[in-house]
Structure formats: C-alpha cells, structure tokens
C-alpha cells in the first residue's frame, strides 16, 4: 500500500482514439458524507455494513469482477479504517483457524485477496473533480475507471465491463445513466443525449452525451437520464481537471472537467443502465439496499423475507414480535 501526496497536475496529451482497456480503478471516498450524519461523524459511509460486508467491499468486488486488479482509494481524514478492511488480520485469522471456523476465516481473508489496494490522501475536500485529480501520479496517461464509494450494482447485472469496452473503442469519456421519474430530476445530474447509429449496439443502450445539467427542475430537465457513479475516463482528464475552475458549491467538479474535454471534441458516450442499482449515500437508499440484499441471501434470505412480510402486514407501528 502507498500513501502518495497530492500531486501537481501536469499536461498530458492523452489519446482520443485508443485501444487500451482500463486496468485501474479509482474510488473517491474522501467526501464528508453530510447526508448520513451523525452516523458518518466517526465511521466512513463506505464502511457502513450491508448485511455483513461494508459497502466498499461490494464496490471493490464490482471492479475486480470486471477484471480490474489495481484499485486506488482516495481517502481523507478519519478514513484510514477503510484501508484496514483490505489488509490481513493474522491475530483474528489464527483464532478462527484454531476454532476450525473455515467459513469465517475465508470471509476475513477474502477482502485482502481481491485486488492490490493503494491509497492517496485528498488533503482538503475540494470536490469530486479534485479528488479524481489526486489519482494522476498513480494512473498516469492510461484510461481508468472511477467508482463512487456509495453506490454499486447487482453483481448478476454488471455494468462496468461494457463501459470498459466502450471506452477502449472510443478513447473518450464513458458515463452511465439510469432513468429517474421526471419529478426527481432535481436530485441528480441530468444528461442531454443524442442517439448513436447502432455502432455500439452489442454493448447495450449507448447514447452520445451532448450536455449535462446539475439538479435541474423537472420542467428544465433535458431528459430523465441521471448520472450514475461510474465513469471510464481517458488519462487526459487530469489535464482538464487542472484547468477546471471551482464550480457548483465552490468545488472542482468532475462534470465541468468532462465538459471541457467534450467542448474540445473528445467523444462522450454513456450506457443507459437498466439493471439494479444500490445507492447507499443516504439513509433511505441505504435501508432499501440492506433489505434487498438481505432478502436475496442464500443463508438468511428466507427467514428474513418471512419476518419482513409479517412485519409489513402487521398493523401496529412496532411491527411483528
């Protein structure tokens, strides 16, 4: 593991038509997580458990399932425990081994075997664009994936492999969108899009991105396609981040850096994802995630579903006992 200082942003030409497939992932996880306070005062939201694994483990598993073995966590103050989760615990492992508890032993070792985990500290929370910029010295000129630390998709309905392939074909910026009810556009970044001519039909519903608007009112929204927390970016994004002035909220926005590239002719495409997305960044989405994943677990799903059905059917606010 390495802890690199934030680096000066230097100019890299980068490729606009590439054939290199991204092999590294960056997980920005230095944010303050204000929507989940006070839980996130001392515990990073990335470590909140979904049943018995922290959110971050699902995210790293999503990256490794797409063939990525090099993962850079952008961390901040009070977030070092995130890295510990991917380290070995010899004391705990020895105790479980003594007891012959093979299942728990495998569960404890699993995270440390998933990927090579690197870390980089974002010293000040200056925005998502700035956080991604911190990855420059680790990533270099190559394309890379960005996975936000509070959402993930159902493993049986993957998104990242098609995004990686699309980026390797276009050499540009690749985003992912999901459809939201029109009344909810003001909670998300919303895209304006144009159809593609079917060139990428084998990769799903691929659209060309013609613009992005932050949290528009429904009557002003150009579509109901919201930005999902997965990006595959060319290395030249770093140079664009270096030129990006603070935007919404006084933060250096990744959206603004991508927009600079788009205005300069870099292709920007997106895949419209229609699978299951879990958003754990605030209490309601987190609860929905826990319930869905618990209900589908082989070990406790049946019992949990039976209890849940009884609880929901019961009239008393305290629910079934």
Q: What mask, x for binding ligand UTP by CB under 6 A, covers residues 53 to 92?
A: ---------------------x------------------
Does residue 180 bind ligand UTP (CB under 6 A)?
no
Q: Which residues of 131-157 are buried (b: 16+ CB within 10 A; e: fewer)?
A: bbbbbbbbbeeebbbbbbbbbbbbeee
Find the binder of ligand UTP among 31, 111, 172, 234 (CB under 6 A): 31
Nearer to ligand UTP, 148 or 266 (CB): 148
Q: Which stretch binds ligand UTP (CB under 6 A): 4-12, 81-89, 103-111, 143-151?
A: 143-151
Q: Which stretch binds ligand UTP (CB under 6 A): 29-37, 152-160, 272-280, 309-317?
A: 29-37
From 173, 181, 114, 169, select the one nearest 145 (Cα to Cα).
173
CA angle (59, 96, 1) in 5-degree steps: 40
**CB-based contacts of 219, cutoff 8 Å, min separation 6:** none
Q: Which residues of 112-123 are buried (b: 16+ CB within 10 A; e: fewer)?
A: eebbebbbbbbe
Does residue 7 bind ligand UTP (CB under 6 A)?
no
Does residue 30 bind ligand UTP (CB under 6 A)?
yes
Between the alpha carbon of residue 239 and those of residues 129, 132, 257, the distances in Å are 11, 11, 9
Nearer to ligand UTP, 130 or 269 (CB): 130
Contact status, residue 47 vs residue 35, Cβ threshold 8 Å: no
Whether the CA torsion 173, 247, 135, 9 is positive or negative: it is positive
Angle between helices 102-114 and 90-99 (to 10 degrees): 150
Nearer to ligand UTP, 92 or 248 (CB): 248
CA within 13 Å, CB half, 106: 3
Does residue 258 bind ligand UTP (CB under 6 A)?
no
Nearer to ligand UTP, 121 or 297 (CB): 121
Nearer to ligand UTP, 206 or 226 (CB): 226
Q: What minimum distance in Å lies between the beta carbon of 96 and ligand UTP?
A: 32
Does residue 321 bind ligand UTP (CB under 6 A)?
no
Find the binder of ligand UTP among 149, 189, 234, 267 (CB under 6 A): 149
The values of phi and psi at residue 16, to 5°, are: -105, -20
Find the binder of ligand UTP among 12, 21, 35, 53 (CB under 6 A): 35
Nearer to ligand UTP, 31 or 143 (CB): 31
Find the binder of ligand UTP among 22, 68, 71, 128 (CB under 6 A): 128
Residues of this chain that bind ligand UTP (CB under 6 A)? 28-36, 74, 122, 125-128, 130-131, 148-150, 281
């Amino acid at each position: 593991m390495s802890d690199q200082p934030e680096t000066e942003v230097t100019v890299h030409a980068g490729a606009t038509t590439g054939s290199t497939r991204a092999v590294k992932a960056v997980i920005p996880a230095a944010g303050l997580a204000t929507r989940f306070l006070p839980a996130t005062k001392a515990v990073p939201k990335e470590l909140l458990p979904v049943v018995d694994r922290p959110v971050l483990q699902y995210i790293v598993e999503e990256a490794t399932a797409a063939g990525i073995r090099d993962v850079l966590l952008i961390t901040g103050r009070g977030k070092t425990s995130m890295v510990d989760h991917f380290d070995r615990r010899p004391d705990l492992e020895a105790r479980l081994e003594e007891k012959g508890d093979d299942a728990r032993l495998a569960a404890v070792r699993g995270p440390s075997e998933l990927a090579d985990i690197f870390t980089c500290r974002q010293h000040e929370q200056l925005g998502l664009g700035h956080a991604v910029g911190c990855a420059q010295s680790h990533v270099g000129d190559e394309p890379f994936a960005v996975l936000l630390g509070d959402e993930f998709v159902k493993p049986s309905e993957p998104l990242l492999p098609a995004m990686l392939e699309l980026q390797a074909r276009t050499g540009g910026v690749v985003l992912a969108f999901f459809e939201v009810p029109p009344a909810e556009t003001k909670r998300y970044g919303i895209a304006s899009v144009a159809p593609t001519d079917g060139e990428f039909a084998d990769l799903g519903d691929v659209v060309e991105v013609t613009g992005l608007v932050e949290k528009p009112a429904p009557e002003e929204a150009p579509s109901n396609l919201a930005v999902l927390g997965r990006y595959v970016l060319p290395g030249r994004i770093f140079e664009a981040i270096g030129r990006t002035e603070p935007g919404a909220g006084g933060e250096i926005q990744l959206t603004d850096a991508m927009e600079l590239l788009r205005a300069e002719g870099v292709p920007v495409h997106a895949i419209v994802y229609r699978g299951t997305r879990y958003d754990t960044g605030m209490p309601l989405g987190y609860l929905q995630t826990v319930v869905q994943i618990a209900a589908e677990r082989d070990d406790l799903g049946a019992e949990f579903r039976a209890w849940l059905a009884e609880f929901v059917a019961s009239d008393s606010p305290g629910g079934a006992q």
